[in-house]
Amino acid sequence: MVKKESGWNLDNSYAKLPNSFYTNTNPTPVRSPKLIILNYPLATSLGFNIEELQSDDGVAMLAGNKIPEGAAPIAQAYAGHQFGNFTMLGDGRAVLLGEQITPEGKMFDIQLKGSGRTRYSRGGDGRAALGPMLREYIISEAMHALRIPTTQSLAVVTTGEAVIRETELPGAILTRVAASHLRVGTFEYVAQWGTVEDLRILADYAIERHYPSIEADESRYLALLDAVIKRQAELIAKWMLVGFIHGVMNTDNMTISGETIDYGPCAFMDTYDPATVFSSIDIQGRYSYGNQPYIGAWNLSRFAETLLPLLDENQEMAIEKAQEKISNFSTLYHSHWLSGMRSKLGIFNEDKEDESLINDLLDIMKKQHADYTNTFRALTFDSQDGCVSQEFTQWKEKWQARLERQPETSDLAKKLMKNNNPSVIPRNHRVEEALEAAVERSDFSVMERLLAILSNPYEHSAEQAEYSVVPASTTPYRTYCGT
């Protein structure tokens, strides 16, 4: 056991739910764990002793070789619609150690990803390669800095063992921190293979953990559906506003908490095009950039279906109630997106012509193959790095006229834009550059510098400028799940 001096303060609330929801599973020890990166700010906020986490005992815990005091390791069961097809899933290469109670009394899941086989491995080896684990660390930290709700990464350790994918790769384990790992797929699993009472227990647990304000509501399960819809509408709007493409929006990758989870084939869009797809397995473009709001609504419809037995004894009434809530998603999403786009353009108030102004800009960007992030950055600083055409010049005149119709000064408009248009995102070539240096040469300095640059994307510093450059390339970028 690792002593509590290291800062571990674990609860095991999920392990107290019906045992059909999970399987007791210890991580599989590894040969020679080595700490590659530790998230100091996150570790501190969680109440950990950083020095102890970096000790031999601490690293052994992060690798799954030792179990921290108070842990009750489990692999969670869940199901999911993967590319529209329903299947039984579960933590095939992850173990939940428990829920860390922070010094402020908040609760966060601590999960070891890549920690060995479980009951749900489905023939897999339960391990993870270093590259995909570092990708998750980089992207999740970038998302956090962009003020987007997300799981975070506490640490990455190498295992001293190889994993076999297309080639032999160095193995690694990532420590993931989440508000919880409750997913739409968790509810799908219980709805399919559990009882109505099991479903009620799970819903009550989700409410207590994430939405305690609705516990006393007579229609709390309908309120739960409503609350999850609202959080996901806001979350996906935030993705869209920074050009993020999740890549694998299966229902098992949609959280009840409203956090982004699973950074497999994700990437940020360079050239603006709603049809952009990076994932090597998304042949039909189901999870393309522009399709994300629609898939969000589709996934939430699957969530609503699981709750029907709790919404009303009369199934027709239950369906009617659920449909009414689901129908609100598009309006909620659009409202968040439109508000965010106004902020990106320095607009404080509302005008009926704003939407057409925004869509005209996006149409021009698409036609001119303009970089999404850099176009808004150029508008923020009135530079020539964005679109260049007569059509764009005419659009800028309309935009300037719109800004003049609001009472706020141009300085305030620019300040609003600087706070909503990042100067840097995790550019695909920069991420690949960092991963190649780490995996091929054990050089982690490239990643460390990238993380430092991404840590304050709204700083707009001179140092960040070189990280906003997009190299010319005729080769389509592809991302992979890393499983």
Residues serving a catalytic function are 252
Is residue 42 a contact partner of residue 152, using CB atoms and an 8 Å limit?
A: yes
User: Angle CA(400)–CA(401)–CA(404) in degrees, nearest 5?
Assistant: 90
d(CA 262, CA 434): 20
Which stretch of DSSP H or E encloses residue 329?
helix 329-344
Strand partners, 169: 163
Identify whether the C-beta of residue 138 lies closer than 8 Å to the C-beta of residue 426: yes
The torsion angles phi and psi of 68, rounded to 5 degrees, stand at -65, 150
| Residues in CB range of 476: below 8 A, 6 or more apart | none
Q: What is the CA radius of gyration of the chain?
A: 23
Cα separation of 125 and 106, whole Å?
A: 33
CA distance 318 to 209: 24
Amino acid at position 394, single letter: Q
Alpha-carbon span 174 to 162, nearest angstrom: 15
CA 254 – CA 241 distance, rounded (Å): 19
User: What residues pair up with 163 in beta bridges, in sequence order?
Assistant: 169
**Contact yes or no for 129/168 (Cβ under 8 A):** no
| Half-sphere exposure at residue 153, Cβ-oriented, CA atoms within 13 angstroms | 25
- Residue length of the chain: 483
Q: At what angle do helices 220-242 and 315-326 cross, to 10 degrees?
A: 30
Task: Give which of 134, 60, 175 is closest to 445, Cα–Cα.
Answer: 134
The three-state secondary structure class of 176 is: strand
Of 329, 296, 332, 318, whose CA–CA distance to 222 is shortest?
Answer: 318
d(CA 382, CA 396): 10
